[in-house]
Amino acid sequence: MGLILNQPIPKLSFEAMLKQIGVAPLPPARSIRMVNGGPVEEGRGFVLHSAEWTAQGSLSVAGDFALTASLDILKAIAEGGGPRQGLLALGYAGWGAGQLDREIARNDWLHVAPDEDLIFGGEDATRWRRALAKLKVDPLLLAREAGRA
């Protein structure tokens, strides 16, 4: 499973989402950015967050991050606590058994080590450029067609 991080959900605020699922307090003491995490189970939410805060069921992601899918984290954030950094992804991207491994082997994906600024900071529209910059890749120099030598 994967999460798309650069597609904000403009028509739904964190407060409106909390109201829909009955999480108080309203208005919340804090809010977090909300993104369209992918086309699978779009009604299901995942909070990707800094790892200094965890709850039962939180999964460690790349050491410095955690993923939590329980209401506990939304309650903690609404009350002003919870993790230092976080974003709420509605839905996720999924692959069949072995599909992602095959795509990586074909060089269909570029991957970069995550950091807090890349995941939680800056503009959504520039996130992919900032990720490519970590690889020292200029997207203006990429070709639309691929070939094999």
Residue 144 is assigned to a structural domain of this protein: no
Q: Residue 101: its pLDDT value, please?
A: 95
Domain encompassing residue 81: 14-138
Residue 37 in tokens:
């995490």
Q: Residue 27: its pLDDT value, please?
A: 95
Q: What is the pLDDT of residues 124-134, one digit of tens each?
A: 999 999 999 99
Q: Of all helices (H) and strands (E), which one includes residue 68?
A: strand 65-68
Residues of the chain with pLDDT under 50: none
Q: What is the pTM of this model?
A: 0.90
Q: Residue 143: its pLDDT value, please?
A: 79
| Domain containing residue 50: CATH number | 3.40.1740.10
Residue 8 is assigned to a structural domain of this protein: no
Residue 6 is assigned to a structural domain of this protein: no
Residue 110 is assigned to a structural domain of this protein: yes
Domain count, the chain: 1
Residue 85 is assigned to a structural domain of this protein: yes
- Residue pair 86/120 in contact (Cβ under 8 Å)? The answer is yes
* CA 142 – CA 124 distance, rounded (Å): 21
Q: Residue 149: its pLDDT value, please?
A: 62
3-state SS class at 26: coil
